[in-house]
Amino acid sequence: MCPATPLEAYAEEICSSAKLISGYCSLEGYSHPSFDPQAPLVTLPPDAPLNVRQARQKIIDSSSRIQQLATEPSEYLPNLAVQYQRISCIRWLCHFQVLACIPLQGSVCYADVASISNVPERQLRSIARMAMTSGFLCEPQLGEVAHNATSRLFVKNPALLGWTEFMTRFYMPVASKFADATEKYQGSDKNNETAVNIAMDTELSSFDFITRDKELGRHFGAYMKGVQASEGTNFRHVISGYDWESLGDGFVVHIGGAPGSICIALAEAFPRLRVIVQDMPDVVANSPNLSNAQPKAIRNRIKTFPHNFFHPQPIRNANVYLMRMVLHNHTDDESVEILSNLVPALKSSPSARLLIMDTVLPNPGSVGAVDEALMRYRDLTMMQVFNTKERELGEFEELFEKASSAGNGNGNGGEGRLVLKKMGKAVGSALSMMEVAWESSLTNGTTTGHLTNGVNGINGTL
C-alpha cells in the first residue's frame, strides 16, 4: 500500500479529529461547531478531555498546512494582501460602532444599519462582506446582515473593541516601520530607539508615549484586559500548570503580580494556600482594593508587599516565587539582574522553586503552524515596541547561567547554579511553565518537580 501523500495525511488528520469532536459533542449534549448565527460563543468547554482539546488543535494546524499545500506559490502575495484588508474592515466596523447597531438576534437590512451608524450604505456592504470572509458577521439572506458567534462576542465584551483600536492604530503602523528602525538603530536595545519612535515620531519610550496619550492609554488598557482573558493567556493555565495543592498552607510570592487577580484565583482554588502580591510601591498600592472585595476566607490569605525586583528579594521563606510574563518585558541584562536578585532567597530555602511562565519560542516547524505564528507575532511585537523579545529555551538557559554566576559572586551562601528542572505547556496555552531551582554544587542534582500531569522533562505537554 502506498504511503499517504502530505495532502492526504493532513486531510485524514482533519477527518479523524473532527469525528472525535463531533462524537464528544453528541455524547455530552453540546452544540456542534457551526456557522449558525446563534452558535455558542464557546465551541468546546475549557474542561473538555485532553484528547478532545488536542483534536481541536490538530484541526487548526492541519487545516492551515493543507491550505498552504493547496495554494500555488504565485498566490502567496494576493492572499497576504487580503489579511490587511480584513483587519482594516474590523477596525472600520468598530470605529463607527456598527456592531452595536445590529441586533444580537435576527438580521437587519444594510440600509437601516447604515442610517443608524451614519455611514455610506455601499461602503458598509463592502466592509461587512469582506469581514464575513474571515468568519466575522454573516448574511443569512441577501441584503441583510446579522451577528455570528465571533462578532457577537465583540458586543458582549467591549474590551475587544479597544483591543482592535490599539492593534490598528498603534501596532500596525509600528510594525510597518520595523525595517526603518533596524536601519537607523542597528539592533539597539534602548527603549526609545524602536519602531515606535519612527512610526509615532517621538523620542519617548513606548510605555511613556502610550500612557501620556489618554485615548491610546485607554485602548491599551482594553487591549491588555482582552489579552489576559484570551484562551492562550487565561489565568486557569496558572491554576492547572503546577501542583499547588502539594504546598498545603505554604505561601507563594507573585512577583510583578499587581493588581492581584492571579493571587485571588490561587486563593480561591486552594483554600489553604497563602499568597503575596508583590509589585512596585505605586502599582501595588491599589491591590488591597481588589483583595478586600473578596470573601473573608480568601482576603485573609492575600497580602501585598511593595518591592522593586531590581533589588534583592527580601522574602526568604516562600515556597514558590512566581513570575508570569515578566522577563519578556526586559533586555537580557535586565533579566539577569532580576533573576540574580532571587538567588539569595532560593539559596535560603533549597526546596523553594521559581516558576517562570512565559512564551518559549519553539524550533521552527516543531509545533502547529498557527501556534508558532502567534508566538512569533508576540516575539516581533516585543522587538518592535520595547526592544525586548520572547526567548528560545537556550536563551532562557543562558540567562540562568549568567544569573547563577552573579548569584555566586554575592557572598550569600555556597556556590551553585539555577537549574531548569522541568518545563510544560498546557494545551491551548500560549505560555510555558518553567520550574527553576537553586542547585548547590554540593548536591547531586536530584530533585522532585511539581509540574502537573506527569511532565518529567523539557518540552512536555501539560
Residues 138, 183 share a domain? no
pLDDT of residue 451: 52
pLDDT of 8 over the 70 cut: yes
Q: In the chain, how many domains are there? A: 4
| Residues classed as catalytic | 328
Structural domain of residue 353, as residue ranges? Answer: 232-369+387-461
**Residue 110, domain member (yes or no):** yes
Q: What is the pLDDT of residue 462?
A: 34
pLDDT score at 123: 98
In a domain, 36, yes or no: yes
Average pLDDT, the chain: 91
pLDDT of residue 43: 85
Q: Is residue 141 part of a domain?
A: yes
pLDDT in tens, 338-355: 999 999 999 998 899 999
Q: Is the pLDDT of residue 443 over 70?
A: no
Q: Is the pLDDT of residue 427 over 70?
A: yes
Q: Looking at the structure, do residues 225 and 270 belong to the same domain, yes or no?
A: no
- Domain boundary at 229, 255, 273, which? 229
- Asked whether the predicted pLDDT for residue 455 surpasses 60, the reply is no
What are the cell numbers at 23? 462524537
Q: To the nearest whole percent, how much of the chain has pLDDT over 90? A: 79
Of 214, 229, 244, the last residue of a domain is 229
Is residue 448's pLDDT more than 80? no
In a domain, 287, yes or no: yes
At 108-137, the pLDDT tens digits run: 999 999 999 999 999 999 999 999 999 999
Q: What is the predicted pLDDT for the residue at 458?
A: 40
Residue 234: which residues within 8 A CB-CB, separation 6 or more?
A: 46, 228, 428, 429
Please give the distance of CA 40 from its chain centroid, rounded to a whole number: 23
pLDDT above 70 for 410: no
Which residue, of 175, 209, 229, is where some domain finishes?
Answer: 229
| pLDDT over 50 (residue 419) | yes
**Rounded Cα–Cα distance for residues 296 and 149 (Å):** 38
Burial grade of 40 (CB within 10 A; 0-12, 13-18, 19 or more): middle
pLDDT number for residue 442:
65
356 and 264 within one domain: yes
pLDDT at 413: 52
Q: What is the CA radius of gyration of the chain?
A: 24
pLDDT per residue as tens digits for the range 316-336:
999 999 999 999 999 999 999
Question: What's the pLDDT at 231?
Answer: 84
DSSP string, 353-370: EEEEEE-EEPPTTSS-HH
Compute the Cα dihedral for 128, 134, 138, 142 and give only its sign.
positive
Looking at the predicted structure, is the pLDDT value of residue 379 above 50? yes
Q: Which three cell numbers stand for residue 111?
A: 440600509
Angle, helices 149-156 vs 159-166, to 10°: value is 100
Predicted confidence (pLDDT) per residue in 59-114, tens digit:
999 999 999 999 999 999 999 999 999 999 999 999 999 999 999 999 999 999 99
**pLDDT tens, position by position, 245-294:** 999 999 999 999 998 999 999 999 999 999 999 999 988 887 777 888 89
